[in-house]
Amino acid sequence: MTTQGSIRQDKTGRWYFVVDTPSPDERRRQLRRRGFKTKKKAQAALTTVLGDVQRGTFVMPVRTTVRGYLEHWLATLPGQGRRFSTVDSYGKLLARHVYPTLGAIELQQLRALDLDGLYGLFGGAGHERPNPLEAHPSGSPTPSSARRSPTPNARDSCNATSPGSFPPRPLRPRGHPR
């Protein structure tokens, strides 16, 4: 596909450009950008878009917000085999933590600094993961599955400061009960 664009001046004296962009369905798609004060600024913006198209990095702008994207993603999870309780839990966590801070941001405008701000709400840089052997901050007891620890022999024989330094679990023969 030959990509071309044109620059024109509107009735108010502002400059705009129109450029053909690729589309997945092979139909003609045009991107229009208006409001440039000078022809030179319009040309620079057009050159940037054409360069992105040539490199294959151009993405057609969309108005999808982070919230809209995540809600669509959540809706697809049951079809991928996720349990209802898992999807429900994800939805509650997103509603509590992500939607209030990032939900209204357009997905294509989302930047690393936005995510860093969200992470900062959870303790900032250097925040350590909670110890599953300690009680939960809410006061509820730690689930029994989190209280399991490796056998004393395995713990003594490994470097406990290195994550993943415990030896792998021995394999059970097929049909052997847990």
Q: How confident is the model over 126-152, as pLDDT tens digits?
A: 455 555 555 555 555 555 544 444 444
Of all residues in the chain, what percent carry a pLDDT higher than 70? 67
Number of domains in the chain: 2
The verdict on residue 10 lying in a domain is: yes
Of all residues in the chain, what percent carry a pLDDT higher than 90? 44
Are residues 116 and 70 part of one domain?
yes
Are residues 25 and 46 part of one domain?
yes
The verdict on residue 22 lying in a domain is: yes
pLDDT at residue 176, as a whole number: 57
Are residues 71 and 44 part of one domain?
no
Q: Residue 99 is part of which domain span?
A: 66-120
Domain boundary among 120, 140, 162: 120
Task: Tell me: pLDDT of 60 over 90.
Answer: no
H-type alpha helices, the chain:
39-55, 66-76, 84-93, 99-102, 112-120, 144-147, 152-157
Q: Residues 7-47: pLDDT tens digits?
A: 999 999 999 999 988 877 878 888 899 999 999 999 999 99
The verdict on residue 154 lying in a domain is: no
Are residues 84 and 49 part of one domain?
no
Q: 9 forms bridges with which residues in the sheet?
A: 15
Are residues 17 and 51 part of one domain?
yes
Q: 15 forms bridges with which residues in the sheet?
A: 9, 36
The alpha-carbon radius of gyration of the chain (Å, integer) is 26
Please give the mean pLDDT across all residues of the chain. Answer: 78
- How far is residue 47 CA from its own chain's centroid? 29
Confidence tier at 153 by pLDDT (50, 70, 90): very low
Average pLDDT over residues 68-88: 93
The verdict on residue 158 lying in a domain is: no
The verdict on residue 178 lying in a domain is: no
CA separation, residue 10 to residues 14, 37, 101 (Å): 6, 11, 38
Are residues 112 and 70 part of one domain?
yes
The verdict on residue 125 lying in a domain is: no
The verdict on residue 160 lying in a domain is: no
Cβ contacts of residue 125 below 8 Å, gap of 6+?
119
pLDDT at residue 124, as a whole number: 53
pLDDT at residue 85, as a whole number: 94
The verdict on residue 161 lying in a domain is: no
